[in-house]
Structure formats: C-alpha cells, structure tokens
C-alpha cells in the first residue's frame, strides 16, 4: 500500500470524538486520536493516565500498516457504526508514552 493510499484511509479518522488503536512492536492496543495526516506522516495524540496529560507524536507513514480493529467500533453517534482503525507501527513505543 502506498503512502497516499494509507493517508486516504487515515484522514476520515481526524475527529476528536473518535479513537483509533495503535500497535507498536513492543506494545499493542493503545488508544489514540488522529490529529492530522499528510502523505508522509500521521500525527497522533495518546491520552496518559491523567486526563489532562497528552503525549503527541508524529509517525512516518512508511513504517505504518493500516488495518481495522475488529474488537472496537466507532463512538461518534453521528456516524454509522464501523470497525475502528488500527495502525501497526514498525518500531518500539517512544520513550515517555
């Protein structure tokens, strides 16, 4: 899948009311928000243990695989129910997350 195809699948998930699932090589099943996406990178925000703390990271699309999460569904009641987006990142979880 090209970066452009990945970006087209990710962009509809730029929504503060929707979460996606993110898997790193060493940690799976993290919840994140998609803050933005270009044809080169995706900007993600992770909620920390404390609600007011958020960790933002930028991940190159060349190390991301896009998939569906069959165990979680959309949350926004204005949209039809569908499987949540799942990103597999081919690197370890960044320090501080």
pLDDT digits (tens, 9 = 90+) for 60-82: 999 999 999 999 988 877 778 88
Q: Angle 28-97-69 (CA atoms, 0-180°, nearest 5)?
A: 30
Considering the domain boundaries, does residue 95 fall inside one? no
Considering the domain boundaries, does residue 30 fall inside one? yes
Q: In this model, does residue 51 exceed pLDDT 70?
A: no
Structural domain including 69 reads: 3-89
Residues 6 or more apart whose Cβ sits within 8 Å of residue 13 = 20, 34, 85
3 Cα distance to chain centroid: 15
Rounded distance, CA 75 to CA 73, Å?
6
Considering the domain boundaries, does residue 19 fall inside one? yes
Considering the domain boundaries, does residue 97 fall inside one? no
pLDDT digits (tens, 9 = 90+) for 12-32: 999 988 999 999 999 999 999
Considering the domain boundaries, does residue 94 fall inside one? no
pLDDT given at position 81: 86
pLDDT given at position 59: 97
Number of domains in the chain: 1
> pTM to 2 decimals?
0.89
């Amino acid at each position: 899948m090209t970066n452009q195809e990945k970006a087209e699948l990710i962009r509809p998930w730029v929504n503060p009311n929707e979460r996606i699932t993110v898997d790193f090589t060493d940690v799976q099943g993290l919840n994140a928000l998609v803050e933005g996406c270009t044809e080169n990178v995706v900007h993600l925000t992770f909620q920390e243990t404390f609600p007011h703390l958020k960790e933002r990271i930028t991940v190159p699309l060349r190390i991301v695989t896009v998939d569906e999460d069959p165990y979680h569904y959309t949350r926004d009641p204005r949209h039809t129910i569908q499987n949540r987006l799942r990103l597999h990142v081919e690197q370890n979880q960044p320090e501080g997350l």
